[in-house]
């Protein structure tokens, strides 16, 4: 079985079967995997054996090859299912499952497995192995969220935490441990300790360079992005250069080639050169920390690069497929990890398509330039359909950026590694080498900054499965263009026409979509929830100015939202509290604000935000219950915190009631803004009687820490949830969504809907959203809206009586134990806007009268 240019693909069915079986098994509840695993294993092995028996019986006849391939694929699937069933009890021991089910606080001894990564709101997260829970010895993977790391957390260090357990309900999901601080810590020992000294010393020496290079060089050399500037990181993401700061096959290739070359210079034979390359690669893995992604990259580099270096290039693809089978069987949890998927796809793209693409480009360009261009084109073509799942946009200048930056990456990586090895023992020499490495690192940073500043650096694409399928089809058509088969000549011609049309349409949409999107926003909008990732930024407009509540985690998304809505001046800014996901984007508002109401200060950083506002010309005062004012038709009143309160942080979130008067086109609107209040404070606010409202900003991004009493008291028909797509906390929590659904409150979410804009109408509230909801979004409604796509006419779905909505309210709601405040991390930030759609909600009179009525398609939305 051969494929592109005669590559041996006989292991492809087995690799796909192993991969798919592991990924699907990872979705099973733990109890099912453990209790039913044996029966499934026996059944799959019997089917595999039957297929192989048929292959033997057909030996030498037609169909024998197919039977063998099917049998081997089924055997691979059986092996994968066996691995999942065997490892599930170890990954999810009873003690850990019981703690997670009850969300209990446990004393956990964990070993740090990955570098700690910062969260936007402070604190860090990292993957670890739980070694002990209370008094029971275990060995289970966990993900740790730590509010106060108390210093550097080296890989292989052991920590004792008082942590709350949560999640981990399915096989492929790690249990979450949330802790405030480290109770005890033990540093790494042996080889891990030496590697930590090298990393820490190198980070310190590189930091003395200053500028973008100080944080970028450690990322290029060792994958340490802890000091990388957030703005540069964002620019590299926009320019499709983030792979340069992730330890990948490219880094491993530099190391393997270096080890091979040094051994060759010393006169070693092929076997010794291979051993030397493998030894250097193993040392590199220890140095950059043996995270699962690093081990994957090293395994890929080992089997593929050494096959080529050993003059057995034809074995590269079978080696890749074999490595997939081995890695997935040994660790079934990686089958569903995005990093693993992208690693395999990028490697396969390079092996299968780089040479045909280079050959086709060679007809127009010099051969060396064609080869350089072919590498990023092949890798991006293979990976981009999957990348769409987390970022629904396509980089416009990605290939060009990689063409310009890639030649500098090996020099920065190689020199950086030498500087890292010298840093603890010979600082002067290390500084000299690091200085040389700074030159290519500076070039890469300059390319990222420049490309990100170019117009329309990313092209908006359909999100979800539909977008993945569409781009996959176009990618396959593009790859067909580089084939040489005479039989495919008509297909190549058709592919060329289709791709040319797609490029013209893409260029036109790049120009037209922003104009259509801005034109589609209702000119009389009253409320806008900006899509700023995992954070809050909500605008309310009266006829005398705009009120902004919080600024989100970064200034760029808020800037984009203000531009989209045409907001230049902010009459009133309310900072509910000082977590970074609420004030991190303050830079976008400074200089535009007339008056700022802020929550109680809790330190110098909070005071600095106040000073920034004052220096920008704003009057600043602390908000307390009873404060009130008006922006023409918009009246606001502070409901919380009470005067003299000692609360700080989330419990002291400034809570507002806003009333917007009726106008010629629409009815009045009332809004409750709850900040990040937890269940206890929500209960106290409920007793203060805010009154019923039409719209509410759901507290704390939809966490589970909610008070049903407050939601009953408010009676809102619309619940706005500002939450980052792909966030690590499971926000919004299913219990919160159930709470809203039981009360007839329609949830609008930035992770599914993008920026949400509400306008009042005489027959209800018109809802405009910038994004197309993912297919799973329909499950949020008991009865999904129906739309006449041709006319966009409205349909009443059904009336819901108060009696219907009251069912379930009469059931006692147990007050959940108050959970320790979860850190709020930055979600996957949207780097390109999406197309728009409209919805409307009928009259907001007494709660419980009606449900949704309309969903229509505005200009510019793809069918």
Q: Are residues 231 and 178 in the same domain?
A: no
Domain endpoint, select from 479, 501, 520: 520
Q: pTM, whole model, 2 decimals? A: 0.61
Quick check: is 119 in a domain? yes
Q: Let me know whether 575 and 606 are in one domain.
A: yes
> Contact, 227 vs 214, CB < 8 A?
yes
pLDDT tens digits, residue range 143-160?
A: 898 888 888 888 889 999
Give me the number of domains the chain comprises.
6
Q: Which of 89, 107, 142 is the last residue of a domain?
A: 89
State whether 154 and 180 are in the same domain: yes
> What are the Cα distances from residue 174, in Å, to 30, 113, 279, 636?
11, 13, 32, 44
> Span 34-62, mean pLDDT?
62
Q: How confident is the model at residue 214 (pLDDT cuts 50, 70, 90)?
A: very high
Same domain? For 382 and 270 the reply is no
pLDDT in tens, 367-421: 877 877 788 888 888 888 888 777 777 888 888 898 899 889 889 988 999 999 9
Q: Quick one: pLDDT at residue 6?
A: 62
Overall average pLDDT of the 486-493 stretch: 53
Looking at the structure, tell me whether residues 611 and 543 fall in a common domain: yes
Which of 148, 163, 188 is a domain's end point?
188
Residues 596 and 703 in one domain: yes
Domain holding 369, by residue range, is 353-394+462-520
Q: What is the 3-state secondary structure (H, E, C) of 669-714?
A: EEEEECCCCCHHHHHHHHHCCCCCCCEEECHHHHCCCCCHHHHHHH
| Model pLDDT, residue 778 | 25
- Does some domain include residue 712? yes
Q: Answer yes or no: do 255 and 210 share one domain.
A: no
669-687 pLDDT, tens digit per residue, is: 899 999 999 888 898 988 8
121 and 65 in one domain?
A: no
pLDDT of residue 811: 32
Strands (E), 435-531: 458-460, 527-529
Tell me: pLDDT of 559 over 80. yes
**Would you place residue 499 in the very low, low, confident or very high pLDDT band (cuts 50, 70, 90)?**
low
What is the model's pLDDT at position 444? 95
Residue 822 within any structural domain of the chain: no
- pLDDT confidence of residue 783: 28
Convert the pLDDT of each residue in 100-144 to its tens digit.
877 788 899 999 988 888 775 567 888 899 999 988 898 888 989
pLDDT digits (tens, 9 = 90+) for 279-290: 888 888 888 887
Please check whether residue 748 lies inside any domain of the structure.
yes
**pLDDT of the residue at 36:** 55
Residue 515, pLDDT above cutoff 50: no
Q: With respect to residue 373, please indicate whether it lies within any of the assigned structural domains.
A: yes
Residues 51-109 pLDDT 10s? 666 666 666 566 667 777 777 787 788 788 888 878 888 888 888 888 887 778 889 99
Identify the band that residue 800 occupies on the pLDDT scale cut at 50, 70 and 90: very low
- Assess whether 733 and 637 both reside in one domain: yes
Query: Which stretches does DSSP call E strand in 313-402?
Result: 393-395
**Average of pLDDT values for 795-801?**
26
Q: What is the CATH number of the domain that holds 103?
A: 2.40.50
For residue 783, is it within any domain?
A: no
Tell whether the model's pLDDT for residue 505 goes beyond 80. no
pLDDT digits (tens, 9 = 90+) for 218-243: 999 988 888 888 788 888 988 888 88
Question: Of 23-32, 471-480, 637-646, 775-784, where does mean pLDDT reach its minimum?
Answer: 775-784
Same domain, 650 and 750: yes
- Please report, rounded to a whole number, the percentage of residues in the chain having pLDDT higher than 90: 20
Span 843-853, average pLDDT: 29
In this prediction, residue 205 carries a pLDDT of 94
Query: Does residue 299 form part of some domain?
Result: yes
**Mean per-residue pLDDT of the chain:** 76
C-alpha dihedral sign at 667, 673, 678, 683: negative
Half-sphere exposure of 647 (CA within 13 A, CB side): 22
User: What pLDDT sits at residue 116?
Assistant: 84
In a domain, 344, yes or no: no
pLDDT, residue 779, reads: 25
Residue 145 shares a structural domain with residue 24: no
Residue 323 CB-density burial (10 A; 0-12 exposed, 13-18 middle, 19+ buried): buried
Output the pLDDT for position 848: 27
Q: Higher-confidence residue: 580 or 763?
A: 580
DSSP 564-622: HHT---EEEEEE----HHHHTTGGGTTTTEEEEEEPPP-SHHHHHHHHHHHHTT-EEEE
- pLDDT > 70 fraction of the chain, expressed in percent and rounded: 75
Residues 757 and 846 in one domain: yes
């Amino acid at each position: 079985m051969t494929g592109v240019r005669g590559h041996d693909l006989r292991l492809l069915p087995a690799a796909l079967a192993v991969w798919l079986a592991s990924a699907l098994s990872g979705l099973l509840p733990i109890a099912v995997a453990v209790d039913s695993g044996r029966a499934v294993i026996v059944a799959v092995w019997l089917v595999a054996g039957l297929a192989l028996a048929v292959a033997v019986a057909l030996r030498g006849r037609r169909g024998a090859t197919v039977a063998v391939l099917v049998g081997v694929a089924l055997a691979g699937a059986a092996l994968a299912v066996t691995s999942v069933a065997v490892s599930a009890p170890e990954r999810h021991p009873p003690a850990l499952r019981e703690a997670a089910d009850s969300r209990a606080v446990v004393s956990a001894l964990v070993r740090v497995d990955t570098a700690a990564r910062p969260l936007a709101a402070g604190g860090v997260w990292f993957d670890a192995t739980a070694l002990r829970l209370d008094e029971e010895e275990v060995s289970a993977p966990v993900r740790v969220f730590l509010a106060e790391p108390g210093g550097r957390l080296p890989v292989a260090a052991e920590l004792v935490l008082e942590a709350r357990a949560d999640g981990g309900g399915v096989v492929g999901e790690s249990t979450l441990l949330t802790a405030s601080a480290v109770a005890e810590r033990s540093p790494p020992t042996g080889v891990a300790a030496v590697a930590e000294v090298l990393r820490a010393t190198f980070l310190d020496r590189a930091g003395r360079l200053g500028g973008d290079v100080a944080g970028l060089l450690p990322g290029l050399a060792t994958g340490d992005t802890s000091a990388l500037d957030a703005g540069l990181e964002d620019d590299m993401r926009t320019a499709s250069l983030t792979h340069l700061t992730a330890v990948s096959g490219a880094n491993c290739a530099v190391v393997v080639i270096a080890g091979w070359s040094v051994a060759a210079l010393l006169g070693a034979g092929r076997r010794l050169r291979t051993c030397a390359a493998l030894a250097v690669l193993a040392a590199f893995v220890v140095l950059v920390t043996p995270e699962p992604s690093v081990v994957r990259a090293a395994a890929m580099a080992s089997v593929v690069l050494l096959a080529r270096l050993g003059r057995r290039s034809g074995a590269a693809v079978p080696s890749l497929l074999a490595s997939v089978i081995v890695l997935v069987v040994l660790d079934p949890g990686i089958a569903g990890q995005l990093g693993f998927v992208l690693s395999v796809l990028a490697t396969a793209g390079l092996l299968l398509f780089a040479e045909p693409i280079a050959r086709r480009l060679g007809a127009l360009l010099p051969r060396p330039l064609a080869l350089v261009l072919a590498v990023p084109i092949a890798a991006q073509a293979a990976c981009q359909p999957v990348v769409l799942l987390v970022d629904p946009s396509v980089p416009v200048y990605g290939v060009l950026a990689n063409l310009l930056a890639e030649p500098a990456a090996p020099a920065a990586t190689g020199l950086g590694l030498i500087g890292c090895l010298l840093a603890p023992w010979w600082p002067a020499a290390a500084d000299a080498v690091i200085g040389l490495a700074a030159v290519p690192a500076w070039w890469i940073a300059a390319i990222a900054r420049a490309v990100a500043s170019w117009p329309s650096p990313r092209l908006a694409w359909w999100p979800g499965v539909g977008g993945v399928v569409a781009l996959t089809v176009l990618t396959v058509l593009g790859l067909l263009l580089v084939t040489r088969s005479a039989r495919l000549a008509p297909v190549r011609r058709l592919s060329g026409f289709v791709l040319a049309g797609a490029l013209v349409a893409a260029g036109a949409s790049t120009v037209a979509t922003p104009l259509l999107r801005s034109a589609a926003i209702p000119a009389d909008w009253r409320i806008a929830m900006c899509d700023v990732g995992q954070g809050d930024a909500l605008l309310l407009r009266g006829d005398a100015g705009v009120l902004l509540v919080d600024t989100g985690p970064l200034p760029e998304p808020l800037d984009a939202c203000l531009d989209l809505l045409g907001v230049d001046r902010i009459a009133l800014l309310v900072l509910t509290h000082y977590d970074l996901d609420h004030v991190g984007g303050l830079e976008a508002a400074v200089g535009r604000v007339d008056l700022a109401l802020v929550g109680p200060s809790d330190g110098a950083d909070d005071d600095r935000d106040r000073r920034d506002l004052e220096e920008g010309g704003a009057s600043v005062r602390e908000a307390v219950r009873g404060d009130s004012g008006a922006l023409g038709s918009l009246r606001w009143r502070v409901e919380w915190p009470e005067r003299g309160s000692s609360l700080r942080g989330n419990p002291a979130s400034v809570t507002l009631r806003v009333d917007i008067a009726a106008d010629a086109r629409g009815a009045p609107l009332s809004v409750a803004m709850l900040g990040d209040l937890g269940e206890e404070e929500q209960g106290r606010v409920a007793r203060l009687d805010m009154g019923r409202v039409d719209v509410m900003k759901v507290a704390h991004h939809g966490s589970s820490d909610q008070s049903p009493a407050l939601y009953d008291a408010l009676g809102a028909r619309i619940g706005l949830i500002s939450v980052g797509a792909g966030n690590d906390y499971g926000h919004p929590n299913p219990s919160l969504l159930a709470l809203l659904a039981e009360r007839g409150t329609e949830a609008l979410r930035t992770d599914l809907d993008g920026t949400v804009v509400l306008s009042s109408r005489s027959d209800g509230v018109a809802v405009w959203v910038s994004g197309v909801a993912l297919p799973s979004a329909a499950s949020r409604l008991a009865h999904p809206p129906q739309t006449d796509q041709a006319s966009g006419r409205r349909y009443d779905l059904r009336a819901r009586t108060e009696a219907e909505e009251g069912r379930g309210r009469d059931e006692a709601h147990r007050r959940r134990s108050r959970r320790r405040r979860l850190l709020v991390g930055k979600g996957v930030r949207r780097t390109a806007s999406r197309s728009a759609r409209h919805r409307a909600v009928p009259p907001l009179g007494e709660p419980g009268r009606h449900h949704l009525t309309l969903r229509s398609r505005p200009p510019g939305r793809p069918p």
